[in-house]
Structure 1
Amino acid sequence: MAENFHKPTQYSTDKFDTYEGGQDPAQIMRAAHDTAHALLEGARNSDDPAVLERIIAYTDQNGIDALAELWSRSSAGSLPGALWRIYLLRAVIQQDAVGTSLLFQRGIDTLATIDAAVTGAVNPTGPNEIKDLADQILRGLFDGDFGVALDRAASFSRILASGAGSVADDQELLNPERASELTTRADRYARMATEFTACAKLFRAGSLD
């Protein structure tokens, strides 16, 4: 059995900053949509709680690249595109819970909006709390109100964007390279927030495929 063991691919925050998936390619394989719908329907139609837990933790055993091959090139305004982005966020958080929680906490402290309330985040938000929150949002896609889960993901991303941008400002003079990295990350999170909001609107209009 040992030779069949597959170690999950580690998805670092550096890869997150530079990942170019989901750029709305002209042709998107129908398989991406079919697998996304099958996964969603399978979770919602199952009475076995273990099925949902396996779906939530799928990338822990298989690595994020397993989903990247299926969904990362899907349109941002599609079901596989939305699922891919939330799994990607969760993977980054799982692998750098300390760093991500610091950015999230800074975002809560600096962002004068209701986003923290929308996410359902506790304050302060430490590494364990942010991992739990990411799991709650992902779980909400499969056994809760899908639109609400997307709204929570959008708020979650806006908070991270604000936090990363604020820390980047602090680092501008002391560590310009680090500031540039954080600015890139802030832009990425902000874009994801916009994409999640758009997906929520499409879902409520019955147009998210």
Structure 2
Amino acid sequence: MTGRTHHRPMTPGAGFFAEIAGGADPALLREAGDLAATVLVRGARESDDPAVAERIVHLAESEGLETLAEVWSGAPADTLAGSLWRLFLLRSWVHADPERVATEYDAGQRRVDVARVVAGVEDPPGPDELRRMVDDVLRGIARGDFAITLFRAAAFARIVAAGRASLGESGHDEITRMLALSEQLEAAGHGEITDTLA
């Protein structure tokens, strides 16, 4: 019996999406996006290199959120590609406006106790704590159970939606979009558990 050779999983680096973004056939782009999502989620878990997790966390910065959008934003929520797009979008939003996020999260956390525990944000939830939490959630793509990663992100989005409703400063559409994001991530987490997320 011969031993299996294990190869280091391919991980995104500078220019990872350069060949598949920019005027490509939409079907090919979608196929390439699905493949990239599979490599990221399934391949990264086989690596015990902490640098892989850090590269995944900073993928939107190294590749550009616009490139990720072109590759993944059209993917259905119940796919790996669609789930990754939603996770990176959530991270980018937290990093872009951490003070607002902290205010909304703080207002919502007392209204959704169970979600607060699942999200795992330090108390009190200031801007730095929320940035750390969302980065830690994305590290879970490489070093943990992807379903847990999705459930944590879903819980976080649900708390923010509750906070927006509580504060009364956001429009109905903003609250609804955040609640929909939470529901999509949670459904994707259940899909991961039942092996239907592809």
What TM-score do you get using the length of structure 1 for normalisation?
0.77
Indicate the residue corresponding to 1:113 in structure 2: 113
Alignment partner, residue 12 of structure 1:
none
1:202 paired with 2:177, answer no
Tell me the CA shift for residue 113 of structure 1.
3.1
Deviation at 1:151, TM superposition (A): 1.0
Matched residue, 1:58: 59
User: Superposed, which structure 2 residues align to 1:87-106 within 5 Å?
Assistant: 87-106=88-107
> Structure 1: how far apart are the matches of 2:106 and 2:158?
12
Q: Tell me by how many angstroms 1:51 deviates.
A: 2.1
Give percent identity, aligned residues only: 34
Give the drift of 1:63.
2.2
SS in 1 for 2:163: helix
Q: CA deviation at 1:27?
A: 10
- What's 1:76 paired with? 77
Partner of 2:158: 158
The Cα offsets for residues 172-202 of structure 1, whole Å up to 9 and x where unpaired, read as xxxxxxx42xx32211110011101111111
| TM-score scaled by length of structure 2 | 0.81
Letter in 2 for 1:184: D
Is contact 2:29-2:71 (8 Å) kept?
no
2:56–2:138 Cα contact (<8 Å) kept: no
- What corresponds to 2:178 in structure 1? 189
Secondary structure of residue in 2 paired with 1:30: helix
Say what the alpha-carbon RMSD is for the aligned residues. 2.3
CA distance in 1, matches of 2:109, 2:28: 39
Structure 2 partner of 1:16:
none
Distance, in Å, in 1 between the alignment partners of 2:112 and 2:137 is: 22
Q: Could you tell me which amino acid in structure 1 is paired with residue 55 of structure 2?
A: R
Q: How far does residue 112 in structure 1 lie from its aligned partner after superposition? A: 3.9
For 2:72 and 2:93, the matched residues in 1 are separated by 17
The code of the aligned residue for 2:156 comes to: F
**Runs of 4+ with deviation above 4 angstroms:** none
User: How far 1:120 sits from its partner (Å)?
Assistant: 1.1
Residue of structure 2 equivalent to 1:131: 131
User: 1:29 is paired with a residue of what secondary structure?
Assistant: helix
Larger % of helix: which?
1
Find the aligned partners of 2:63 and 2:34 in 1 and give their Cα distance.
20
Structure 1: gaps of 5 or more residues: 7-25, 172-178
Paired with 2:190 and 2:29, the residues of 1 have a C-alpha distance of 21
Is the 2:47–2:142 Cα contact (8 Å) retained in structure 1? no
Q: Cα gap change, 1:29/1:59 in structure 2, threshold over 3 Å: closer, same or farther?
A: closer
SS in 2 for 1:73: coil
| Rounded Cα–Cα distance in structure 1 between residues aligned with 2:177 and 2:144 | 26
* Residue deviations 1:119-153 (CA, integer Å, cap 9, x gap): 11122100000000101111112210111111111
Q: 80-89 or 43-52, which moves further after superposition?
A: 43-52
